[in-house]
Amino acid sequence: MSAPLLEVDALTLRFRTPAGTVNVLDDVGFTLQAGETLGLVGESGSGKSVTALALAGLLDPRAQVHARRLRFQGRDLLNSAGEPDASAWQGLRGRRIGFVFQSPRRALHPLRTIGDQLQQVLQVHRGLKAAAARREALAWIERVGLSEPTRRFKAYAHELSGGQCQRVMIALALAGEPALLIADEPTTGLDVSTQARVLDLIAALALEHHLATLLITHDLALAAQRCARVAVMHAGQLVETLPSAGLRGGAAHPYTRQLLRATPQSAPTLSDLRSVDGLLPDLTRTDLPACRFAERCDRSDARCRTEAAPWTRIDPRHALRCWHPALESARPDAL
């Protein structure tokens, strides 16, 4: 297998607030191959979006970020102290890393037309002259399925529907011809049919351009349908990664199992649905357990609270961090 497009190892993140230090991310690590679609899933507040912002270098400079390795296309994005190197992201954002935000209408500039914004991306990231950028912008408006390209070119965000704004955001993210697309809850606030069309569009363009895609969602069923592989987050910790095809029958971490139990597709009737036990822990606490799911888990013991479990493999493509995986018959080997 070729070297990963994206490598993340031991990514940690803290914010200092008046209420105290918030330990947002704890030892997060995964890889993403060129052309692969990885779903990053978990409850709201699990740290999915802030992970995406960290990968794109979009966090507030006051955020305390550290990692053992953060590498994109073989290029280190950290300095010698393991902290983000701001200069390393220059030329990557927009050009090699595209980002689809979960609130497209707010992400689009309210005082500039759609065409102006697309032209700027094309001129800055691909070096096109004004006339060529205009032609390419019109082509992208048509490519993402918006009718009447000339009219949309002159429109402002407030004149478009939520689905149309999301299509514009996808065009802005892809116009620079990136190698990685980060889509953060790209269907938030859209009706079901529009959600499907937006996700179909992302999948088609990713296939056409051989894009690696990081799809962030709280919907485990959607990730299983749309992604080759799924990474599960809980309270800022990555707890399990596995192929989506084996998700329903092969998930081994108790949290992943509870998420599956809480999806509508898992229950024949509404009354059969089960919520995930307990609440996410307060990340300002100074006594967070080693496994942040320990206080919600009926399989946990004192070891879970005091000693971080190592990454273990269930099979070559399935790994998790848990002292008491839910598949007792599995024979995990330490990574």
Q: Cα separation of 266 and 251, whole Å? A: 13
CB of 258 closer than 8 Å to CB of 276: yes
Is 287 part of a structural domain of the chain? yes
Tokens of 129: 């002259």
* 165 located within any domain: no
Provide the domain limits for residue 260: 245-335
Q: Give residue 8's pLDDT.
A: 96
DSSP string covering 100-119, please?
A: E-S-HHHHS-TTS-HHHHHH
**Count of the separate structural domains present in the chain:** 1
CB atoms within 10 A of CB 307: 12
What is the rounded CA–CA span in Å between residue 61 and residue 85?
A: 11
Residue 332: predicted pLDDT: 46
- Other CB atoms within a 10 A radius of the CB of residue 28 amount to 24
Domain presence at residue 270: yes
Report if residue 282 sits inside a domain: yes
Query: pLDDT value at position 322?
Result: 96
Q: Is residue 315 part of a domain?
A: yes
Task: Say if 298 falls within a structural domain.
Answer: yes
DSSP 259-295: HHHTSGGG-SSGGG--PPSS----TT-SS--SSTTGG
219 in a structural domain:
no
DSSP for 231-264? EEEETTEEEEEEEGGGHHHH--SHHHHHHHHTSG
Q: Is residue 271 part of a domain?
A: yes
- Residue 304 parent element (H or E): helix 302-306
3-state helix, strand, coil in the chain (%, to 5): 35, 25, 40
CA angle 42, 52, 197 (to 5 degrees): 75
Residues of the chain with pLDDT under 70: 1, 265-273, 327-335
Beta bridge partners of 28: 11
Residue indicated by tokens 């008046």: 18
For residues 170 and 146, give the distance between their C-alpha atoms in angstroms, rounded to a whole number.
12
Query: Cα angle at 53 between 282 and 108, to 5 degrees?
Result: 115
This prediction has a pTM of: 0.92
pLDDT for the residue 80: 80
Which pLDDT score is estimated for 333? 47
> What is the structure's pLDDT at 268?
59
What is the separation, in whole angstroms, between the first and last Cα of the chain?
18
Cα angle 206, 315, 303; round to 5: 110
Question: What phi, psi does 23 have (nearest 5°)?
Answer: -85, 85
